[in-house]
């Protein structure tokens, strides 16, 4: 167990600090109900008595990554779980994480923040949640234990370091992973297991370096939460660069009052790659309309963290 990893994000305390939940969108409410009432009870299940072992870690990794895609993920990768990948106070009794990601539809981020962008965030939490539950069911049907790490945000594993180590992309100035072709508009989850698996590697596609010369997310963040400079005290990312640290105490009030904000994702300069094929005939623009009403005052939890640090990654 790590004593240096951050505690799990205390959603209830943060919402209490901004006067409670104020986003009232019926479709969002329905997705949340389905996630908590229908998906959470399906995290566990019977492990088949007969166990199928794989010929090698390579074969197992290839098979399970392909299965993850079949279960509904758009991308999949594998990494070894280190203590700093687990939220402080939580435990994960497995060695590997099979990380999965699913893209969000660009056409729902044409105006941000908006009802449409909020619903799309929740839709993908739900559909990617189905993908990790299906993958976990499959692993148990092979006679192996596993643990579901749902994308919605109260998992035991930190999705960002897991996604970086699984080769999903590089850490952007806005604190989200940028995939070389999907850009930053995707969500992540994982399934933890101890089946011996070949692991993927972090990538260096020049994305993190690009952020040093691009400030689009910084400029459009209405809460002034995205930093000008990297913070050496926050530790290095997987490429050895000091991390950019988003100020959660500024971001969260805006996020909580304005449809989960999300402005920093569709304005990101990396939104111009493969996902554009996702237009599917819908009328879309290359750059979203960004609504930036006055930000609410910043809040910090008295006992909590003013900023949400991610741990220094081992290389």
- Decide if residue 308 touches ligand SF4 (CB under 6 A): no
Among 269, 292, 298, 301, binds ligand SF4 (CB under 6 A): 269
Which residue's CB comes closest to ligand SF4? 172
Among 268, 299, 307, 313, binds ligand SF4 (CB under 6 A): 268
Q: Which is nearer to ligand SF4, 69 or 291 (CB)?
A: 291
Min CB(227)–ligand SF4 separation in Å: 10
Q: Which is nearer to ligand SF4, 206 or 232 (CB)?
A: 206
In the region spanning residues 8 to 47, those forming contacts with ligand SF4, defined by CB under 6 A, are: none
Q: Which is nearer to ligand SF4, 43 or 210 (CB)?
A: 210
Q: Which is nearer to ligand SF4, 152 or 251 (CB)?
A: 251
- Decide if residue 118 touches ligand SF4 (CB under 6 A): no
Q: Which stretch binds ligand SF4 (CB under 6 A): 32-40, 75-83, 97-105, 257-265?
A: 257-265
3-class DSSP string for the chain:
CCCCCCECCCHHHHHHHCCCCCCCCHHHHHHHHHHHHHHHHHCCCCCCCCCCCCCCHHHHHHHHHHHHHHCCCCEEEEEECCHHHECECCCCCCCEEEEEEEECCHHHHCEECCHHHHHHHHHHHHHHHHHHHHHHHHHHHCCCCEEEECCCCCCCECHHHHHHHCCCCEECCCCCEEECCCECCEEEEEEEECCCCCCCCCCCCCHHHHHCCCCHHHHHCCCCCCCCCCEEEEEECCCCCEECCCCHHHHHHHHHHCCCCCCCCCCCCCCCCHHHHHHCCCCCCCCCEECCCCCCCCCCCCCCCCCCCCCCCCC
Q: Which stretch binds ligand SF4 (CB under 6 A): 30-38, 156-164, 188-196, 268-276?
A: 268-276
Min CB(32)–ligand SF4 separation in Å: 19
Q: Which is nearer to ligand SF4, 133 or 225 (CB)?
A: 225
Min CB(182)–ligand SF4 separation in Å: 13
Per the document, the length of the chain is 315
Among 68, 160, 263, 313, binds ligand SF4 (CB under 6 A): 263
- Decide if residue 262 touches ligand SF4 (CB under 6 A): yes
Q: How far apart are the first and last CA of the chain?
A: 18
Q: How many CA atoms lie within 13 A of 209 on its CB side?
A: 6
In the region spanning residues 149 to 208, those forming contacts with ligand SF4, defined by CB under 6 A, are: 172-174
How far is it, in rounded angstroms, from Cα 309 to Cα 86?
A: 13
Q: Give the x-and-dash track for 216-255 against ligand SF4 (CB under 6 A).
A: xx---xxx-xx-------------------x----x--xx
Task: Give the interface with ligand SF4 as residue ranges (CB under 6 A).
Answer: 172-174, 210-211, 214-217, 221-223, 225-226, 246, 251, 254-255, 261-264, 268-270
């Amino acid at each position: 167990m790590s004593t240096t990893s951050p505690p799990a994000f205390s959603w209830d305390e943060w919402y209490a600090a901004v006067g409670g939940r104020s986003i009232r969108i019926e479709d969002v409410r329905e997705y949340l109900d389905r996630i908590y009432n229908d998906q959470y009870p399906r995290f566990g299940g019977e492990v088949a008595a007969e166990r199928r072992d794989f010929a090698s870690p390579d074969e197992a990794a290839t098979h399970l990554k392909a299965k993850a895609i079949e279960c509904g993920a758009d991308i999949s990768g594998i990494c070894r779980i280190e203590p700093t990948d687990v939220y402080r106070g939580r435990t994960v009794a497995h060695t590997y994480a099979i990380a999965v990601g699913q893209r969000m539809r660009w056409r729902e981020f044409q105006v941000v923040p908006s009802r449409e962008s909020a619903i799309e965030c929740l839709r993908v939490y739900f559909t990617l949640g189905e993908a990790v539950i299906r993958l976990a069911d499959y692993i148990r049907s092979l006679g192996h234990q596993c643990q579901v790490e749902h994308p919605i945000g109260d998992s035991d594993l930190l999705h960002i370091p897991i996604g970086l180590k699984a080769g999903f992309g590089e850490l952007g100035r806005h604190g989200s992973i940028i995939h070389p072709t999907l850009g930053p508009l995707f969500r992540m989850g994982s399934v933890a297991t101890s089946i011996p698996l070949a692991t993927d590697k972090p990538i260096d596609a020049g994305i993190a370096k690009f952020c040093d010369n691009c400030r689009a997310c910084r400029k459009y963040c209405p809460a002034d939460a995205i930093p000008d400079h990297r913070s050496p005290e926050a530790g290095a990312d997987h490429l050895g660069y000091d991390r950019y640290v988003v100020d959660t105490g500024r971001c969260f009030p805006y996020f909580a009052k304005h449809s989960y904000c999300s402005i920093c994702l569709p304005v990101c300069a990396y939104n111009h790659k493969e996902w554009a094929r996702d237009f599917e005939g819908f009328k879309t623009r290359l750059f979203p309309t960004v609504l930036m009403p006055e930000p609410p005052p910043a809040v910090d939890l008295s006992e909590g963290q003013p900023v949400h640090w991610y741990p220094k990654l081992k290389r």
